[in-house]
Amino acid sequence: MRYTQLRAFHNVALHGGFSRAAGALNQTQPALSDQVRRLEQEYDTLLFYRDRKQIRMTAQGEGLFLLTKRLFEDEQNIDEYLGQSRAAIGGTLRIIADSAHHVTGALQRFRESFPNVFVSLRTGNSQEVLQKLRNYECEIGVVGSLHPSGDVVIHELGTTPIIAVAAKGFLGDGVEALQFRDLANYPLIFRETGSRTRLLLEKEAGRQKLALEPVIEVDGREAMREIVASGAGIGFLSAAEFGHDGRLQAIPLLGIDLQMSESLIYLSTRRDVPVIRAFARAGVLDVASIR
């Protein structure tokens, strides 16, 4: 196994084809194909399914791609570490959060200290955040009510209660709160499977032997807010995420104590990635915990 063979494989997987990878590496396509083929022959394994117009990674290829992501990220980290004395931190910081609300202040402080870093912010539920972290598709995640995990460093951001939300006037005049059991009498709007808010609601309903069935299931918090604002039913989110939407009414749930904790997370194996450490130095993370 040679470094050039691994680099050839990694770039083909990264760019989705031999031609694009050859262009990125400034090599000829036959030379690149030969390097990948030699790697496959040496280990008697197939890394790509090939046809005339496209390629697909095999299961062995996907496993190797996860390892080469780490390899070439470490190579980049070494280069950045050795170059810190002559250049300011730059590059890209990718964040996936279950709600952008929880990172707005942190991003402002980070950008003030490190204006050369390009920040990409996307949203997803807790399962998606963990999956993308572990696939090296982001550096930072923000999730709700995460259980401890050996491969993830967790920084608690605090807890807020889960509340119901409805369009103003949906419940009628004078109704400002609901008993949890009363929810069974209303049309409910649930987030997709994988939403931590939904999981906690369903767990509590099971404990109380209460049948809570959604009439509508939506993908994402913003979609849920829009459907609820239309008057279609009652939705759910944490109090910290309610914000200032004049169309909606926040409805405390009585008879339960469902708390949604928010955590900022990253892979423990990536604690020394420069942009993650820079995020810490900006005051977003506890610097002492990652030394």
**pLDDT, tens digit, for every residue of 204-241?**
999 999 999 999 999 888 889 999 999 999 999 888 78
Cross-strand bridge partners of residue 249: 166
Among 81-85, 161-165, 166-170, 256-260, which stretch is predicted with the lowest mean pLDDT? 81-85
3-class DSSP state of 134 = helix
For residue 86, pLDDT over 60 is answered with no
Would you state the pLDDT for residue 14?
92
Residue 88: the pLDDT is 61
Mean pLDDT of 178-207: 91
Q: Tokens in use for 111?
A: 């950008």
Amino acid letter at 243?
G
Length of the chain in residues, anyone?
291
Share the mean pLDDT of the chain. 85
* pLDDT on residue 53: 73
Owner of token pair 């990125």: 24
Return the pLDDT at 280. 64
| 231 neighbors 167 (Cβ within 8 angstroms) | yes
Would the pLDDT of 286 be above 80? no
Return the top range by mean pLDDT from 50-54, 214-218, 273-277. Answer: 214-218
Q: For residues 71 and 235, give the distance between their C-alpha atoms in angstroms, rounded to a whole number.
A: 44
Residues 6+ away with beta carbon under 8 Å from 52: none
Mean pLDDT of 26-34: 87
Fold of 91-157+262-290: D-Maltodextrin-Binding Protein; domain 2 (3.40.190)
Q: Any idea which fold 3-63 has?
A: Arc Repressor Mutant, subunit A (1.10.10)
Structure tokens at 121: 């912010």
Q: According to the model, what pLDDT value does residue 40 have?
A: 92
- 188 within 8 A of 287, measured Cβ to Cβ: no
Quote the pLDDT of residue 64.
94
Q: Is residue 249 a contact partner of residue 175, using CB atoms and an 8 Å limit?
A: no
The angle that helices 3-15 and 59-82 make with each other, rounded to 10 degrees, is 110
CA distance 65 to 174: 58
Helices and strands (H, E) in the chain, number of each type: 9, 13
With CA atoms as reference, report the closest residue to 144 among 251, 261, 255, 237: 261
**pLDDT higher than threshold 50 for residue 287:** no
Class of domain 160-260: alpha beta
CATH code 3.40.190.10 region(s) in the chain: 91-157+262-290, 160-260
Start-end of CATH 1.10.10.10 domains in the chain? 3-63
How far does CA 268 lie from the centroid of its chain?
A: 16
Locate the DSSP E strands across 27-148.
48-50, 55-57, 91-97, 117-123, 140-144
Tally the C-alpha atoms within 13 A of residue 218's C-alpha that lie toward its C-beta: 19
Instruction: Please report where in the chains the tokens 């083909």 appear, as a residue.
Output: 12
Residue 123 pLDDT exceeds 80: yes
CA distance 77 to 75: 5
* Mean pLDDT of the 98-102 span: 73
